[in-house]
Each structure stands twice: as C-alpha cells, then as structure tokens.
Amino acid sequence: MSSVAERSENPLARVRDAVWRPTPASLRLLALLSVVVNAGIIVTGGAVRLTKSGLGCSTWPKCTPDSMIPTSSPDHSPMHMAIEFGNRTLTFLVLAAGIAVLVAALRSVPRRRDLVRLAAVQPFGVLAQAAWGGLTVLTDLHPAVVAGHFMLSPLLLIACVALYVRAGEGDGPARPLVSERLRALSLALAGVTALLMVAGTVVTGTGPHGGDDRSKRFGFEIEQVTRVHSALAWITVALTVALLIGLWRSGAPHSVRRPVLVLLAVELAQGVIGYVQYFLGVPELLVALHMLGSALLWIAVLRVVLATRDRGPLPAAEPVPAPARPAPQPA
C-alpha cells in the first residue's frame, strides 16, 4: 500500500506511469502536451528571427565549425548565439514529447492502430523539421527555405490535434454531425486558412524581420503581398461566419458550434493584431503575438473540422482484477 501511495505522490513516477502504463486520460494529456510544445516552437522560432539571431549559430548541426555549443565568435554577439542555440535545444523537448506520446500509444491496452499512426508521425516529423532547420542555416536564411521550415509546424500539428481528439473518442465508424455541404464548407475553411498561413510566410519573407541583416528577402512589394494576405484573412472570416450561420440554421449540436465560435474569436483577435502591427511598422512584440495567433488559429480550424464528425464514446474501462490471494496453508 505504501509503495502505491509513494508512486502517486512522486511526480516523476506519475510521468513514468503516464507513458509506460497509460490510461485513455493520460494518453490524451500527453497528446495535448504535444500540441502545446509544437505550437510553442513556432513562437520561439519567430523569436529567433525577430531578434536577428537566425545565424547566431553559423552552421549545422554544430553551432560553429569547431564547436557543438556557442563559443566566442567575432561574427555574432553572445546573445544572438544563445538565442539560436536555445531554440535548437528546445527541439529536444518537442522530440521528447513526441517520443513519449508514441510510447504511450504503443503501450495502450487495447492498442489502437490509428492512434499509433498519428503518434508515430510526431517524433519523425520533429526530426524532419530539425533537418530542415539546418537547411535554413546552410542557405543563410533564404526566405523560401525559412517559409518551408515554418509550414512544417502546421503540418505536424494536424497529427497532434487529430491524436488529441481521437484519444478522447471511440473507434466506431465516423458519423457525420452536419450535412455534407457544411462538412465541405469546413474543409474549404481549412484550405483557405492554410493558404492564409502560406501568404503570411511570403509577407514575412518580404518584410524587415529576416532573421539576420545579411539574409535574402523576396523581391515583392510589401504592400501587394500584404493585401493578398489581408484578402485571404477576410475570406477566412467570411467562411467562418457562413459556417456558423449554417450550423445555427440546421440545428447542429453545441459540440460543433462551440469550436466555430472559438475560431471566430481567434480570427478577430488575430486580425486586430495584424492591422495594428502593420500600421505601427511591425514592432517585434506584436509580430511575436501574431505568430502565436497563427498557431492558435490553425489549431482552432483543425478542431472545427474534427468536430463535424464523431466516432462514439470511449468504451468503458474494464476493471483491473484484484491480485490473487495465496491459499491458506493447512494447520
């Protein structure tokens, strides 16, 4: 009895049990952690660019040609080197979260194949993103390569958010909760949002925050690419409002309407930040908030798409059999 109590009070033991002896609740918590860290790495990567620390480590996988860690360099300040190296180090935290969720999915009883597949995407996706990050350094932060590095995060978040949702529902066949037309509208909304994020990378690759004063920029006019980005943002809002009206008129359940309301709130907040940062000359703090908003926007869109169908509740957990007691010995 005392060992059980000690394990429940030991945080490290609880983490170990969540990974090695997962329950549906602990697996979903690990999946949520993976969503958080993969969204967070978007913001920390943006901080690297906003502080002009993108080439703080001048090569990859080493920080300098002679060292894996930052050392004195005449080309970069210690702060820039520390920021870039810190972001590289955070990649190991994201990788650890991906490995933990994969182990938990493999150790779950019963093992659910689709959850294992979604979990397996995550550590391999982080490794691919790390390699692409090295390519951004080796190409001296070419804006097209930097844009590709950013867009890997939304792709990886698809698996993360899907795992979080699937870990909380059963394995029955997908049952639509809305009409085919509204389902198609939600998918169109996701597609336009993806285009909006791509356009955002073009705006960033054209604007002043390139990650280093020596990095190349796209040769577009900033006003033109900003107008395209703004137009896609308004289309995203219009599709969200149209979807919300359609759900309301069709009597869709609250579980479907609530994520759309959350999405609309995120869009409006993101729009306010976007316009304010544009008219104030894109100050670094507002740009960082806008990048956080882009991650939250994409997560909210994915939640909307996944909320339009259902796979039933999780099956009731089977009771754990009590340990067998030894038979009494005859006197």
Kindly give, in sequence order, each residue whose CB lies less than 8 Å from that of residue 324, ignoring residues fewer than 6 positions away: none
With 0-12 CB in 10 A as exposed, 13-18 as middle and 19+ as buried, what is 276?
Answer: middle
The C-alpha atoms of residue 23 and residue 38 are separated, in whole angstroms, by: 23
In which band, very low, low, confident or very high, does the pLDDT at 318 lie, cut at 50, 70 and 90?
A: very low
pLDDT at 324 over 70: no
User: What amino acid occupies position 113?
Assistant: R
Q: What is the CB-side half-sphere exposure of residue 123 using CA atoms within 13 A? A: 16
User: Greater confidence, 283 or 6?
Assistant: 283
- Cα(106)–Cα(144) distance, rounded to whole angstroms? 37
Across the range 136-155, mean pLDDT stands at 94
**In the predicted structure, residue 9 carries a pLDDT above the cut 50:** yes
Provide the percentage of residues in the chain whose pLDDT is more than 70.
Answer: 92
175 DSSP β-pair partners: 310
Mean pLDDT of 49-75: 85
| 170/22 Cα distance (integer angstroms) | 16
Query: What local confidence, expressed as pLDDT, does residue 315 receive?
Result: 75
Better-scored residue on pLDDT, 7 or 182: 182
Confidence band of 327 (pLDDT split at 50, 70, 90): low
Tell me if 104 sits within 8 A of 30, measured CB to CB: yes
Q: How high is the mean pLDDT of the chain?
A: 90
**Within a 13 Å sphere around the CA of 293, how many CA atoms are in the beta-carbon half?**
21
Residue 5 has pLDDT above 60, yes or no: no
* Residue that the structure tokens 């956080």 belong to: 292
- Above 60 in pLDDT, residue 320? no
Q: Tell me what the mean pLDDT of segment 64-75 comes to.
A: 81
Q: Which of 161, 133, 116, 114 is nearest to 41 (CA)?
A: 133
The per-residue pLDDT for 11 is: 83
Q: 212-247 b/e with 16+ CB inside 10 Å = b?
A: beebbbbebeeeebbeebbebbebbbebbeebbebb
- Other C-beta atoms closer than 10 Å to the C-beta of 151 total 16
Separation of alpha carbons 306 and 259, rounded Å: 10
pLDDT at res. 325:
55
CA distances from 121 to 105, 118, 127, 307 (A): 12, 5, 10, 22
pLDDT in tens, 183-234: 999 999 999 999 999 999 999 999 888 888 878 899 999 999 999 999 999 9
| Residue 14 pLDDT level (bands cut at 50, 70, 90) | confident
**Mean pLDDT calculated for residue range 2-23:** 75
Specify the pLDDT at position 264: 98
Total number of residues shown for the chain: 331
Structural contact between residues 187 and 262, judged by C-beta atoms closer than 8 angstroms: no
180 phi/psi in degrees, rounded to 5: -60, -35
Please give the model's pTM, rounded to 2 decimal places. 0.91
Closest CA to 92 of 130, 63, 65: 130
> Is residue 308 a contact partner of residue 182, using CB atoms and an 8 Å limit?
yes
- pLDDT class of 1 with cuts at 50, 70, 90: very low
Note the pLDDT tens digit of each residue in 86-134: 999 999 999 999 999 999 999 999 999 999 999 999 999 999 999 999 9
Tens digit of pLDDT for each residue in 240-262? 999 999 999 999 999 999 999 99
Find tokens 């060992």 and name the residue.
3
Between CA 111 and CA 108 the distance in angstroms is 5
